[in-house]
Amino acid sequence: MKILISNDDGYLAPGLIALADALAPIADIVVVAPDSNRSGSSNSLTLDRPLSVYQASNGFYFINGTPSDCVHIALTGIMSSRPDLIVSGINQGQNMGDDTLYSGTVAAATEGHLFGIPAIAFSQLDKGWAELKSAARVARDLVERRFDTLSENFLLNVNIPNLPYEQLKPAVATRLGRRHQSEAVIKAQDPHGRDIYWIGPCGGQKDAGEGTDFHATALGHVSITPLQIDLTQNAQLAALKKVLA
């Protein structure tokens, strides 16, 4: 099996290194990741400047662009053959509910999915890299399962509690929860007295009921949510057609 690995925390991130170390014994891996932290970059591609590709001493490629840039360039400019799977992470911090819209970790997996390649995004619930080896072991377990009964081009979002491997509860299939509206921006001033703004904290959990990723991980389960790209609001499509008739 040939696997392309990327992330949004950068090519030096412990989560990326742990994921590569866990998958190297079972697959031919290629790692292409951003040169620095690109959290919150979502599915953006860099179109206003050229991008450069470098290679670290450990063989990892790194690019001065977004996670989507990395996967895009890997598939169309670096790799000589198509990978069987694209894996992103392991992210420092959860990507659940509405977070998936902004996540660079999920975006890297999504870019592969858009190319018709199965993809999995892995995140730890809490920041700080606690129990990272446990999370990497979970990632390897899930990659080895292959998910052959799913569609040929699946996109999975996995969130792993920061617990020792033996304390983790079984992986469960979940839907995305929902958050409340984000907190207000934080206003400050730069050294020249000009107003600057920091994006505020994300909103609290609004829908964290049974069956959601929030609920499952709170109970110690590994959460696996199948994602899709189609943003069509099908429930309103028929009504819109009537308005336009």
The string of DSSP letters for 60-129 reads -EEESS-HHHHHHHIIIII-SS--SEEEEEEESS---GGGGGT-HHHHHHHHHHHTT--EEEEEESSSS-
Total count of residues recorded for the chain:
245
Ramachandran class of 7: left when φ > 0, alpha when ψ lies in -120 to 50, beta otherwise: beta
Q: How far apart are CA 227 and CA 36, in angstroms?
A: 26
Tokens representing 225? 């949510």
- How far apart, in whole angstroms, are the C-alpha atoms of residue 60 and residue 10? 11
What is the structure's pLDDT at 207?
Answer: 58
In the block, which residue shows the tokens 């742990």? 18
In our burial notation (b when 16+ CB lie closer than 10 A, e otherwise), range 184-209 reads eeeeeeeeeeeeeeeeeeeeebebbe
Within the chain, strands assigned E span: 2-6, 28-34, 53-55, 61-63, 85-91, 119-124, 155-160, 169-173, 178-179, 186-189, 195-198, 205-207, 221-226
Contact between 109 and 120 under an 8 Å Cβ cutoff? The reply is: yes
The first and second tokens of residue 73, run together, are: 């360039």
Q: Helix (H, G, I), strand (E, B), or coil: what is residue 47?
A: coil
Nearest by Cα to 158 from 34, 15, 2: 15
What 8-state DSSP symbol labels residue 165?
A: G
The confidence score (pLDDT) of residue 184 equals 80
Q: Is 175 exposed, middle or buried (0-12, 13-18, 19+ CB in 10 A)?
A: middle
DSSP-assigned beta bridge partners for residue 31? 5
**Which has the closest alpha carbon to 97: 222, 234, 227, 236?**
227
pLDDT tens for the 245 residues of the chain, in order:
999 999 999 999 999 999 999 999 999 999 999 999 888 888 889 999 999 999 999 999 999 999 999 999 999 999 999 999 999 999 999 999 888 898 999 999 999 999 999 999 999 999 999 999 999 999 999 999 878 778 788 999 999 999 999 999 999 999 887 665 667 878 899 899 899 888 766 666 665 678 898 999 999 999 999 999 988 888 899 899 999 98
